[in-house]
Amino acid sequence: MKKQLTSIPYSVLDLATVIEGKKPADTFKNSLNLAQQAEGWGYHRYWLAEHHNMISVASSATSVVIGHIAGGTKSIRVGSGGIMLPNHSPLVIAEQFGTLESLFPGRIDLGLGRAPGTDQLTAMAIRGERMNAANSFPQDVLKLQAYFSAENSTSSVRAIPGEGLDIPIWILGSSTDSARLAAALGLPYAFASHFAPAQFLTAINIYRQNFKPSDHLKEPYVLACVNIVAADTDAEANKLATSLYQLFRGIVTGKRSLLQPPVETMEGIWTAYEEEQAEQMLACTFTGNKETLSRDLQEFLDQTQVDELMTTSHIFDHQARLKSYQLLSEVFKGI
């Protein structure tokens, strides 16, 4: 049966973006305000991502920020999109998320990624002698599941709190490797199509074709994250999106900066090569008014048949960002 936008959950990925002229403290205040509004607008989840050594991303202590958001909201699910597990001991993550689940029962998600969430030099500073920890990612996911299990109560190493708690684990990915792991473990799969769309369709097909039902999940479940900038008019949305384009230009050039205000045109700001590279990374980006987004997102859903859409919005002005998420919620509600 063809899926409709109005029938699937819609969620938020907050990259805790620091904007030009502001500090991380301002970001955290705005994130909580957005989460509170998103809860009222019917958003299903609010996820934060682990990144390090990035001037424009403030969610390096991801578990702490999740607690801040969950503590200021009432019903929306809050979690990680994701925790970069090779950066951590599985036991420590089990304890952290066991604490979060104990504080906010029934509301915590644990999304796990394999990448370092940073550059190699910073990864060395984080991992030390565990630089090859990514190779043991599948085994570490299993260790984490074991720590959460009630059966682990007889073990000599236990996660307190954490043991016996039902905390949904997700596998995050931007390639086909993660798809095979999520399928083999029977876990829900979230794909980072907001910045790495190249293998998206291949990966979700591999996941669905190889999925093995588990105690956690009986059928495959795909969440796709996309960039969205909504406004009253297409022209206004396209202008607001230039902040996103400038951010990705920084990724392409390696010259990162705080999120910049929108500009009338990107001409003269990026080269043809930078534009081409950024557009490849931003293939799953949707801008426009409600009518435009309703049409384009339904086409995306028709093509991918994902079970849930998660959206991230790099918009400079906080009020414009709130407006974007409000308009988007109306698209999903068919208003």
List, for residues 241-262, the tens digit of each pLDDT value.
Answer: 999 999 999 999 988 899 999 9
Model-level pTM? 0.95
Q: What is the mean pLDDT of residues 322-327?
A: 98
SS3 assignment for the chain: CCCCHHHCCEEEEECCECECCCCHHHHHHHHHHHHHHHHHCCCCEEEECCCCCCCCECCCCHHHHHHHHHHCCCCCEEEEEEEEHHHCCHHHHHHHHHHHHHHCCCCEEEEEECCCCCCHHHHHHHHHHHCCHHHHHHHHHHHHHHHHCHHHHHCCCCCCCCCCCCCCEEEEECCHHHHHHHHHHCCCEEECCCCCCCCHHHHHHHHHHHCCCCCCCCCCCEEEEEEEEECCCHHHHHHHCHHHHHHHHHHHHCCCCCECCCCCCCECCECHHHHHHHHHHCCCEEEECHHHHHHHHHHHHHHHCCCEEEEECCCCCHHHHHHHHHHHHHHHHCC
Amino acid at 102: S
210 token code pair: 């190889």
What pLDDT score does 96 carry? 98
The CA-atom distances, in angstroms, between 264 and each of 135, 221, 269, 293, 320 are: 45, 40, 11, 21, 16
First to last CA, the chain: 22
203: pLDDT strictly greater than 80: yes
Mean pLDDT for the chain overall: 95
Structure confidence at residue 134 as a pLDDT band (50, 70, 90): confident
Q: Which residue has the tokens 């392409």?
A: 252
User: How far is Cα 216 from Cα 166, in angstroms, rounded to an integer?
Assistant: 9
Q: Which residues contact 276 (CB under 8 A, 6 or more apart)?
A: none
Structure confidence at residue 50 as a pLDDT band (50, 70, 90): very high
Question: How many residues in total does the chain contain?
Answer: 335
Structure confidence at residue 125 as a pLDDT band (50, 70, 90): confident
What pLDDT score does 214 carry? 97
Q: Which residue has the tokens 């915590």?
A: 108
